[in-house]
A and B are shown apart, each in its own frame.
Chain A
Amino acid sequence: MATDSRGRPPFTSRLGQPGTVPLSALRTGERGVVVQLAGGRGLLGRMTALGFTPGAEVTVIQNFGRGPLIARVRDARIALGRGEAGQIYVRRRSG
């Protein structure tokens, strides 16, 4: 389980709720809607400022199954480490 910078568990409690997967689980070309964010304040601050907030639509542009990946959110392309992408929970969207 991930912890924040002070070693506390993340304050979100609904992580991994049914139907949600980490962003890192989406394959290239798949789309999803952000449901939940985890991580310490610093990371959360950066993720939200870059456009990842609940309700935002995300398209994975590149994901080779390992290493960092690229996602499009709010018209911008954001590169994330696999660990960081694992803190963003999305609901898959078909089509």
Chain B
Amino acid sequence: MSTCHSVENATTIDPRTAERTVLVALAGQPNVGKSTLFNLLTGLNQHVGNWPGKTVERKEGTFTFNGTTYRLVDLPGTYSLTANSAEEVIAREFIIRERPDVVVALVDAATLERSLYLVAELLPLPAPVVVALNMMDVARQEGMRIEPEVLEAALGVPVVPMVATRNIGAWELMEMVDRVAHGEVSYEPRFPQIRADHREVLGEIEGLIAGYVPDPYPQEWVALKLLEGDREVTRMMQGGMPPEQWEAVHEVLRAHDDALVAVASGRYEWIGRMVRAAVTRPRVGQISRTERLDRWATHPFWGLVILASILGLVFWLTYAVGTPLQDLLDTYVVGALADLARAGLSGGPEWLAGLVADGVIGGAGAMLTFLPILVVFFAVMGMLEDTGYLARAAYVMDGFMHLMGLHGKSFLPLFLGFGCNVPAVLGARVIESRRARLLTILLAPLIPCTARMAVIAFLAPAFFGSAATLVSWGMVLLALAVLALSGVVINKAAFRGQRAAFIMELPLYHLPNWRTIGLLVWQRSVAFVRKAGTLILAVSVVVWVLSTLPGGSVDTSFLAQIGRWLEPVGRLVGLDWRLMVALLTSFIAKENAIATLGVLFGAGEGAGLAETLAATFPPSAALAFLTVQMLFIPCVATVGVVRQETGSWWWTLFDVGFLLVVSLVAGVVVYQLARLGGL
């Protein structure tokens, strides 16, 4: 911790008398421990939402330090500030437009040069930067010795060493932030400069755009971003300049369209000068723990074995912990509440008791019973991400996922979909590329979840006897084949076949931080209940009403009328109206299909129903029903989270419509083929 800053006027004028909230932005590359530091500083006093108009998570918290109230905004983790992704634009727009009093740049001491790249991008922006040099312990383990004072002297900005996971240095960091915010520290950063061979052209561009740069943007920064070919800045300047003037700028840019590499090289040359004196490596060439572990974890064969074992463990955990809890909640909380409501409303009209007990409590219950499984999945995903393993899983699965236009990181969320599609959609957040994330979300409902497998497990033996296992496996394979095919098609049609470049960091392994994971689980669960929950509840009530009114029984309800009205469509697939109604009610929860069939065939849910069904429908229709059921519109909970995660009704409805068409077409094909085959 250095104390070499000149203290100006600290005794004569106290700026603290003007009481106000100090705005601090927390910036940093991915995997530098930003969440840990954010949680450390704000505790539970934080608010999670989305950045306006974006599906990028925005965390904000408040705390008091030295009598001053601080508002801390967590900027998205990005490697640079060039407009390659929504995250990068959000981070820099926030600093330029909101002008935080201090930007804390969290830097990983173990990958110091690379981490300082973001600092090189932050310094030219109009807010003072304090560098928090995190993971000093890891750097030491990796054989590096870093002298923060030397780095501080070189950079000209405060540098505070810390180990956020062990709460070392946070107090010193805040003390420094406090002093910078109150102008008690002289702030004279040494700015990175463009490589010598491009200095002239940068000046030329600056001259051309002078007077046209819209307000809060710094002119030199805009010129630099133009040279880098930044999409957003180019668009902004093109729109704000007379065409002939822009043409002159464009001419210069065209002649130097290799400048991006020159600008980046300039930043690294600057970084090289900054760290030269501050870092020594007494032990060179030793193999780190991470690289030893990676010999196994990223091996083309052993990596898959390890991944399979971890996934096996995840499912075991889900079934051992999540499912019993789910049953308990269902029986003792949801069931008991419904009974209570029925008893309490027994004096009133029958429909009211039904609405409250089955519609409202049933709907809320469906959402509530999702929670145990979600908590397990969130915890596991958070842990795999926090330890650094997730990137390895993505690495070993990348080749396979590419076949369907997906990213290696899509594998884990999709795989989790076998348990339940809801966490699969929510888990897609780990994918940085927006396009790959969207595609993963859209495809997730095609993964056969346990509820759908339960329907298959009940119906397949009834229809196919000893061939049931074969049929079940066939259904799973069919769903996966449709998923792969849909991936290729949507990718081609909607994203013109582009795929996100596969280039990502494999962070160092480290022990998970339980506090970070706990908060993540809590926040995601709350978000699920608040956002998706409202939709689930609303739809549950509507479907309940449709399946009850006007007569009070499913077989005379509006839903049955819709089913009859849809029968011509159903006939193509070999389904009668009762099977159509079963499909419609499965919208609330997939396992509802069986309950509905039980009511419609007046046979309950036991073996009687299986026999009745087998006697009523030929195998071809049964096969078609299983096919449609497997690929049909996802349950309302999944639709709710698709809406939540895409932030777009358009994509949500597209997904629902797409699955509707795909399932019916597949049903027709299976039905007609089965009939041709004599089933």
A20 within 8 A of B: no
A56 vs B117: C-alpha distance when bound (angstroms): 14
Answer whether A41 and B260 are a contact pair too, CB < 8 Å, given A49-B79, A75-B110, A75-B114: yes
Q: Which residues of A contact B399 (CB under 8 A)?
A: 67-68
Q: Which residues of A contact B112 (CB under 8 A)?
A: 75
B265 within 8 A of A: yes
Q: Which residues of B contact A77 (CB under 8 A)?
A: 290-291, 294, 505-507
Inter-chain pairs besides A51-B114, A74-B268, 11 sampled, C-beta below 8 Å: A42-B84, A47-B503, A49-B79, A51-B113, A64-B300, A76-B111, A77-B505, A77-B507, A80-B503, A81-B503, A84-B501
CB contact between A84 and one of B111, B113, B257, B503 (< 8 Å): that residue: B503
B298 within 8 A of A: yes
Q: Which residues of B contact A78 (CB under 8 A)?
A: 503-506
> Which chain A residue has the least Cβ–Cβ distance from B254?
A11
8 contacts between A and B (CB under 8 A): A45-B228, A46-B501, A47-B503, A48-B264, A49-B82, A55-B265, A61-B291, A75-B112
Q: Which residues of B contact A84 (CB under 8 A)?
A: 501-503
In A59-87, the 8 Å CB interface with B consists of: 61-62, 64, 67-68, 70, 73-81, 83-84
B229 within 8 A of A: yes
> Which chain A residue has the least Cβ–Cβ distance from B81?
A49
State the Cβ distance, B229 to closest chain A Cβ, in Å: 5
A25 within 8 A of B: no
CB contact between A12 and one of B258, B290, B300, B498 (< 8 Å): that residue: B258
A15 vs B672: C-alpha distance when bound (angstroms): 56
In B136-151, the 8 Å CB interface with A consists of: 142, 144
Q: Say yes or no: A54 contacts B265, CB within 8 Å.
A: yes
Q: Which residues of A contact B395 (CB under 8 A)?
A: 68, 70, 79
CB contact between A68 and one of B142, B398, B507 (< 8 Å): that residue: B398
Q: Say yes or no: B258 contacts A49, CB within 8 Å.
A: no
B529 within 8 A of A: no
> Which chain B residue has the least Cβ–Cβ distance from A77?
B506
State the Cβ distance, B506 to closest chain A Cβ, in Å: 4
A12 vs B114: C-alpha distance when bound (angstroms): 24
State the Cβ distance, A59 to closest chain B Cβ, in Å: 10
In B406-428, the 8 Å CB interface with A consists of: 408
In B366-408, the 8 Å CB interface with A consists of: 391, 394-395, 398-399, 402, 408
B310 within 8 A of A: no
Question: Closest 6 interchain pairs by CB?
Answer: A48-B264, A81-B502, A49-B80, A49-B79, A77-B506, A74-B113
> Which chain B residue has the least Cβ–Cβ distance from A85?
B503
In B142-181, the 8 Å CB interface with A consists of: 142, 144
A62 vs B391: C-alpha distance when bound (angstroms): 15
B673 within 8 A of A: no
CB contact between B261 and one of A44, A62, A67 (< 8 Å): that residue: A44
Q: Which residues of B contact A50 (CB under 8 A)?
A: 79, 114, 503, 505
State the Cβ distance, A4 to closest chain B Cβ, in Å: 10
Interface size class on chain A is: 35 or more
A5 within 8 A of B: yes
A62 vs B79: C-alpha distance when bound (angstroms): 23
State the Cβ distance, A95 to closest chain B Cβ, in Å: 11
Q: Say yes or no: B503 contacts A45, CB within 8 Å.
A: no
Q: Which residues of B contact A76 (CB under 8 A)?
A: 111, 114, 505
In B95-132, the 8 Å CB interface with A consists of: 110-114, 117
CB contact between B501 and one of A37, A42, A53, A75 (< 8 Å): that residue: A42
In B248-265, the 8 Å CB interface with A consists of: 257-258, 260-261, 264-265
Q: Say yes or no: A62 contacts B501, CB within 8 Å.
A: no
CB contact between A70 and one of B113, B298, B408 (< 8 Å): that residue: B298
A44 vs B80: C-alpha distance when bound (angstroms): 12
Answer whether A45 and B505 are a contact pair too, CB < 8 Å, given A51-B114, A68-B399, A75-B111: no
Considering residues B110, B228, B268, which has the most beta carbons from chain A within 10 angstroms of its beta carbon? B268
Q: Say yes or no: B294 contacts A43, CB within 8 Å.
A: no
Q: Which residues of B contact A42 (CB under 8 A)?
A: 84, 501
Q: Which residues of A contact B398 (CB under 8 A)?
A: 67-68, 79, 81
In B564-590, the 8 Å CB interface with A consists of: none
State the Cβ distance, B342 to closest chain A Cβ, in Å: 57
CB contact between B84 and one of A45, A56, A74 (< 8 Å): that residue: A45
CB contact between A11 and one of B257, B408, B505 (< 8 Å): that residue: B257
Q: Which residues of B contact A45 (CB under 8 A)?
A: 80, 82, 84, 228, 260
Q: Which residues of A contact B113 (CB under 8 A)?
A: 51, 74-75
State the Cβ distance, A42 to closest chain B Cβ, in Å: 6
Q: Which residues of B contact A83 (CB under 8 A)?
A: 502
> Which chain A residue has the least Cβ–Cβ distance from B265?
A53
State the Cβ distance, B94 to closest chain A Cβ, in Å: 19
State the Cβ distance, B196 to closest chain A Cβ, in Å: 14
Answer whether A81 and B80 are a contact pair too, CB < 8 Å, given A11-B258, A51-B113: no
Q: Which residues of B contact A48 (CB under 8 A)?
A: 80, 260-261, 264-265
A44 vs B261: C-alpha distance when bound (angstroms): 7
State the Cβ distance, A8 to closest chain B Cβ, in Å: 9
- Report B491-507 CB contacts with A as 1/0, cut-off 8 Å: 00000001001111111
A67 vs B399: C-alpha distance when bound (angstroms): 6
Q: Which residues of A contact B261 (CB under 8 A)?
A: 37, 44, 48, 53-54
In A1-37, the 8 Å CB interface with B consists of: 5, 11-12, 37
CB contact between B79 and one of A46, A61, A75, A81 (< 8 Å): that residue: A46
